[in-house]
Amino acid sequence: MLAREVHAITAHVDAAVDRFSTKPWTAGVIGLGYVGLPLVVAAMEAGVAAVGFDIDHDRVAGLASGTSHVDDVSDEELRAALDAGLVVTSDESALSEVDAIFVCVPSPLGVNRQPDMSYIEAAAATISRVAHPGVLVSLESTTYPGTTDDIVVPAVEQVGLKVDQDAFVAFSPERVNPGGGIPSARIPKVVGGVSEISGRVAAAAYGRLFASVHPVTHARTAEMTKLLENTYRAVNIALVNEMAQLAHQLDIDIWEVIEAADTKPFGFQAFYPGPGVGGHCIPLDPQFLAWRARQAKFATRFIDTAEQINTAMPRYTADRVADLLNDHGLPLYGTAILGVGIAYKPNVADDRESASIEVLKLLQRRGAEISVVDPVVGTDRIEHWGFTAVSEDSIGSPALAIVLTDHDAIDLSRVADSAAVVFDTRGAYRRRGLSHTNVVTL
Ligand SMILES: NC(=O)c1ccc[n+]([C@@H]2O[C@H](COP(=O)([O-])OP(=O)(O)OC[C@H]3O[C@@H](n4cnc5c(N)ncnc54)[C@H](O)[C@@H]3O)[C@@H](O)[C@H]2O)c1
């Protein structure tokens, strides 16, 4: 490359960095779900104009009328963003004018637990229709290392834009923790470009939206960072799930063991057992890595072992319920069981991939009469899963209550006073300092 050309590119990159760091610009977000909606609201709060695009017309209509479907974004926050000029639309052409496009579409697994890239591919098709010179495109959907190079770069190049000259491409994993109380803008943002230049430009843009940015050398590094984080959690949860089963066999209280180990100020991080892993991150994300590893003829033994243990937990939990009832001379068949909480984690209304539902389905298949109380998820979803929804005022006197999701809003003492026996799969009574003689823990 001639010195003149190098100089021109350097000046052009410096101008892009300067624009994203200091000048007004507009952010476009594809996909307004749990990740995309907080991002457009955070952009508006940071003084960056935002356009949110989603193919779901009902969702867009709800958002445009000021109703948020995401726990972490209140209606008031959404309305303030709309009043300040946030645009939500199902018309992708609204992205033709934005300076940066952030992709926040789903990335599920297919029926054979292989990555389903169809949503990212559809978003890439949108990008190839709206991309224009100077645009930054950053993928945020969790995915296998190499996706940004494989799918986003070709979408940009397809319309004749040259990466680093006419457009910039990066990956930045979303680390939002729904219901966790930390606004996503305050969680450090890992950013990797498909090249050093794209990384610099992307880091400048994220610097306007997030309190701290951690640049890495390549998009692949950023993609793998997200998968390492969630694989670490899946493996440690599996370890403690195995320990819980052993402790039960040895007549030791695993919750007391964890509490004691957690007094060590170094070298130990507490993870807790439960009826299985849920949500659409922990059960799925390690599989993106395992799938990519298989392509590279590499065996991911920790991932496979963790998967085996965690996916067996709902059945182990259901078997423990059957044993408890048996101790009281009762069969599963025809016995009234109250499920307490069906969300995949406390204080969120999200029931996707929830292990709680799997446990209750296993019990229902064996003939138990299942009712469910979950004031956060609500009646419609409980009935959607084929259970009888009850309120806290109408839980009756079940033979057994099983605490599956520990929402703060649920009065656990009332549950223990109503049911003959309580099976606490979350250590919830201990954590709340409640003592009831009829509570048995996982
Ligand atoms: N929810 C979380 O806690 C979380 C945390 C970290 C990472 N992630 C990752 O972020 C990504 C998004 O997850 P989410 O929970 O926000 O999903 P979501 O299902 O809540 O929202 C996705 C949105 O994208 C829309 N959409 C789908 N295809 C589209 C398209 N082609 N164009 C425009 N909009 C489209 C859907 O209608 C939906 O509104 C996933 O890759 C997920 O793994 C999620």
**Separation of 169 CA from ligand 1 center, angstroms?**
19
Whether 9 and 53 map to the same domain: the answer is yes
Instruction: Give the residue, out of 30, 34, 151, with the most ligand 1 atoms within 8 A of its beta carbon, to mutate for a pocket test.
Output: 34
pLDDT of residue 11: 85
251 burial level (CB within 10 Å; 0-12, 13-18, 19+): exposed
Last residue of a domain, one of 170, 191, 217: 217
Structure tokens at 84: 């300040």
| Centroid of ligand 1 to alpha carbon of 103 (angstroms) | 9
Pick the residue whose CA is nearest to atom 13 on ligand 1.
Answer: 106
With respect to residue 238, please indicate whether it lies within any of the assigned structural domains: no
Looking at the structure of the chain, the number of domains it has is 2
Same-domain pairing of 158 and 209: yes
Last residue of a domain, one of 190, 217, 244: 217
Q: Is 105 in the pocket of ligand 1 (CB under 6 A)?
A: yes
Measure the CA–CA gap between 442 and 416, rounded to whole angstroms: 16
What residues does 388 pair with on adjacent strands? 371
Q: Cβ(239) to ligand 1 under 6 A?
A: no
Residue 35 lies inside a defined structural domain of this protein: yes
- Is 259's pLDDT higher than 90? yes
Distance from the alpha carbon of residue 33 to the mean position of ligand 1, in angstroms: 5
Q: Is residue 373 part of a domain?
A: yes
Quick one: pLDDT band at residue 3, thresholds 50, 70, 90?
A: low
Distance CA 383, CA 390 (A): 10
CATH of the domain at 340: 3.40.50.720
What's the CA gap between 281 and 275, in Å, rounded? 16
Query: Band of the pLDDT at 280, cuts 50, 70, 90?
Result: confident
Which one of 104, 129, 229 would you pick to mutate in the ligand 1 pocket, going by the greatest count of ligand atoms within 8 A of its CB?
Answer: 104
Is the pLDDT at 173 greater than 70? The verdict is yes
Residues acting as catalytic residues: 281
Written as six digits, the tokens of 294 are 């298989």
Q: Which domain holds residue 153?
A: 3-217
* 106 Cβ inside 6 Å of ligand 1: yes
Q: For ligand 1, is residue 119 a contact (CB within 6 Å)?
A: yes
Quick check: CB of 344 below 6 Å from ligand 1?
A: no
Q: pTM of the prediction?
A: 0.93
Same domain, 280 and 137: no
Q: Is the CB of 92 under 6 A from ligand 1?
A: no
User: What's the mean pLDDT when you consider all of the chain?
Assistant: 95
Question: Residue range 414-435: average pLDDT?
Answer: 97
Regarding the beta carbon of 281 and ligand 1, being less than 6 Å apart is answered: yes
Residue 5 is predicted with a pLDDT of 65
Which of 193, 217, 241 is the C-terminal boundary of a domain?
Answer: 217
Measured by CA distance, the residue closest to atom 20 of ligand 1 is 33
Instruction: Answer yes or no: do 209 and 274 share one domain.
Output: no
pLDDT 10s digits, 26-49: 999 999 999 999 999 999 999 999
137 and 257 both lie in a single domain: no
Average pLDDT of the segment spanning 58-84:
95
Residues 286-315: pLDDT tens digits?
999 999 999 999 999 999 999 999 999 999
**228 part of a folded domain:** no
Share of the chain above pLDDT 90, in %: 91
In a domain, residue 241? The reply is no
Atom number, ligand 1, closest to the C-alpha of residue 119 = 28
**How far away, in angstroms, is 61 Cα from ligand 1 center?**
17
CA of 138 to the centre of ligand 1 (A): 14
**Is there a single domain that holds both residue 125 and residue 263?**
no
Q: What is the mean pLDDT of residues 384-407?
A: 96
- 240 in a structural domain: no
Is the minimum distance from the CB of 31 to ligand 1 under 6 angstroms? yes
Mark whether 207 and 120 lie in a shared domain: yes
Find the radius of gyration of the CA atoms of the chain: 24
Report yes or no on 24 lying in a domain. yes
pLDDT band at 211 (very low <50, low <70, confident <90, very high): very high
- C-alpha of residue 32 to centroid of ligand 1, in Å: 7
Across 40-66, average pLDDT: 97
41 and 100 housed in the same domain: yes
Ligand 1, atom nearest to 177 Cα: 3
Q: Which residues pair with 102 in a beta bridge?
A: 29, 138
Query: Which strands make up the sheet holding 421-424, listed edge to edge?
Result: 388-389, 369-373, 336-340, 400-403, 421-424, 439-441
Asked if 28 and 4 touch (Cβ cutoff 8 Å), the reply is no
- Residue 133: C-alpha distances to residues 36, 168, 325 (Å): 24, 9, 67
User: b/e for 86-109, b at 16 or more Cβ within 10 A?
Assistant: bbbbbebebbeebbbbbbbbbbeb
* 328 shares a domain with 278: yes
> Ligand 1 centroid vs 107 CA: distance in angstroms?
7
Judge if the beta carbon of residue 55 lies within 6 A of ligand 1: yes
